[in-house]
C-alpha cells in the first residue's frame, strides 16, 4: 500500500497562508498543517484549526527567518532586539552548532514554541522545522529531550531521492545536490535515535528539493514513482496578495501550489493509483 501525508508549512505566518490552508483542507487533499508558534497570524491559525478539527496540526519549529516566542532579552544570543532570528540559515546553523553557550537559550525557545501551541489547545501531531532546522544536530538533540514531554510521536525526516526529482525538474542542479547531501546526512544521523525512541517518520519526504515549486504538473509527474509505504509531500500554499509571504518568499509559487492541492486531476490520479491520504496519526482522508 502507498500512503501519503499532505502538509502545508508556515501555518500562522500570515492571513494568506491561513486562508490557503483552510481551502486546501476543505476542498482539496491537504491532511496536515505545521504551525509557526511565533507567526504574526498564529491566532488566526488557531481559529482555522478550531473550525476544522479533523485537520492535523504539528509544530513548524522556527529558529531562522522568523520571530521568537520568548522576549528578546530572554534569548539575546538568538534574536535581534525586535525578537527576530537571523535570515541566513547557514550562519545561524554554524553558530548553533559551535557556540555551546547557546544551547540553553535554544532549549528554552524550543520549549516555549511547543508550550504555546499546547497551551492554545493544539494536540501536536508531529514536528518539523522552518528550512528543516529541526534536523540540525544541536536542535535535534534538544528535541529528543522535549518530544516525549509533549507527547509528540512523529517527526519529518527530510530526505528525498535526487534522481527521482531530476527526472521531472532539472532546475538548481548544484543546489539540489548539496541539499540532498546535507539532509541525507542529517537524516542518517537522526534515524537510529528515532527508531530507538519509537518516533514515527515517513520513508521519503517530497518538497525538500522543489520547495516552493510543488505545482500541479510536478505533482502529477512524481505520483507515479512514489515508493510503497508512507511518503510526505509538503507545500507552501498561499492566497495573494499577501505582503508577508511575498516579502519572505518572492520566488515561491504559492497560488500554484494551492491550485495543485485542490486539483481534480491530482485527486483523480490518487484514486487511480490507489494512494491513501493519511496523517502522521494515521487518520484517513477520503477526498481523493
Cβ neighbours of residue 209 closer than 8 Å, sequence gap 6 or more = 160, 162, 165, 176, 179, 180
Q: What is the pLDDT of residue 287?
A: 61
Q: What span, in angstroms and rounded, lies between the C-alpha atoms of 239 and 218?
A: 20
User: Residue 246, Cβ neighbours under 10 Å: how many?
Assistant: 15
CA angle 274, 269, 264 (to 5 degrees): 130
Q: Is 56 exposed, middle or buried (0-12, 13-18, 19+ CB in 10 A)?
A: buried
Q: What is the pLDDT of residue 288?
A: 46
The backbone torsions φ and ψ at residue 100, rounded to the nearest 5 degrees and listed phi first, read -65, -20
Phi, psi of 48 (to 5 degrees): -60, -45
- Walk me through the domains of the chain, giving residue ranges and CATH numbers: 2-278 (3.20.20.370)
Q: What is the pTM of this model?
A: 0.96
Strand pairing partners for 260? Answer: none
pLDDT score recorded for residue 286: 81
| Residues 82 and 104: beta-carbon distance below 8 Å | no
Rounded Cα gap, residues 270 and 60, in angstroms: 26
- Give kind and range of the element (H or E) at residue 181: helix 173-197
Specify the 3-state DSSP secondary structure of 127: strand
CA separation for the pair 237, 18 (Å, rounded): 9
β-pairing verdict for 204-206 and 127-129:
unpaired
**Residuewise pLDDT in 10s, the chain (288 residues):** 999 999 999 999 999 999 999 999 999 999 999 999 999 999 999 999 999 999 999 999 999 999 999 999 999 999 999 999 999 999 999 999 999 999 999 999 999 999 999 999 999 999 999 999 999 999 999 999 999 999 999 999 999 999 999 999 999 999 999 999 999 999 999 999 999 999 999 999 999 999 999 999 999 999 999 999 999 999 999 999 999 999 999 999 999 999 999 999 999 999 999 999 999 999 999 864
Cβ count within 10 A of residue 132: 25
3-state secondary structure of 142: helix
Among 43, 46, 78, 81, smallest CA distance to 64 is for 78
Amino acid at each position: 500500500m502507498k500512503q501519503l501525508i499532505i502538509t502545508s508549512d508556515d501555518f500562522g505566518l500570515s492571513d494568506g497562508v491561513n486562508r490557503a490552508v483552510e481551502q486546501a483542507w476543505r476542498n482539496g487533499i491537504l491532511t496536515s498543517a505545521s504551525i509557526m508558534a511565533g507567526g504574526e497570524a498564529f491566532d488566526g491559525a488557531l481559529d482555522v484549526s478550531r473550525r476544522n478539527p479533523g485537520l492535523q496540526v504539528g509544530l513548524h519549529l522556527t529558529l531562522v527567518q522568523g520571530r521568537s516566542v520568548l522576549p528578546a532579552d530572554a534569548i539575546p544570543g538568538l534574536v535581534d532586539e525586535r525578537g527576530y532570528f537571523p535570515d541566513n540559515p547557514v550562519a545561524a546553523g554554524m553558530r548553533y552548532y559551535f557556540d555551546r553557550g547557546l544551547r540553553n537559550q535554544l532549549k528554552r525557545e524550543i520549549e516555549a514554541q511547543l508550550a504555546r501551541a499546547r497551551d492554545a489547545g493544539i494536540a501536536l501531531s508531529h514536528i518539523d522545522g522552518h528550512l528543516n532546522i529541526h534536523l540540525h544536530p544541536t536542535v535535534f538533540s534538544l528535541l529528543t529531550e522535549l518530544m516525549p514531554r509533549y507527547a509528540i510521536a512523529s517527526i519529518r525526516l527530510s530526505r528525498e531521492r535526487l534522481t527521482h526529482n531530476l527526472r521531472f525538474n532539472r532546475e538548481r542542479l548544484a543546489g539540489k545536490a548539496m541539499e540532498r547531501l546535507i539532509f541525507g546526512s542529517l537524516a542518517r544521523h537522526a534515524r537510529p535515535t528515532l527508531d530507538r525512541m519509537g518516533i514515527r517518520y515517513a520513508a521519503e519526504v517530497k518538497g525538500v528539493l522543489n520547495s516552493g515549486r510543488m505545482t500541479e504538473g510536478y505533482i502529477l509527474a512524481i505520483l507515479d514513482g512514489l515508493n510503497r509505504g508512507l511518503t510526505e509531500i509538503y507545500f507552501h500554499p498561499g492566497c495573494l496578495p499577501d505582503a508577508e509571504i511575498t516579502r519572505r518568499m518572492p520566488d515561491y509559487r504559492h497560488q500554484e501550489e494551492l491550485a495543485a492541492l485542490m486539483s481534480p486531476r491530482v485527486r483523480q490520479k490518487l484514486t487511480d493509483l490507489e494512494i491513501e491520504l493519511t496523517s502522521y496519526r494515521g487518520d484517513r482522508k477520503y477526498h481523493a
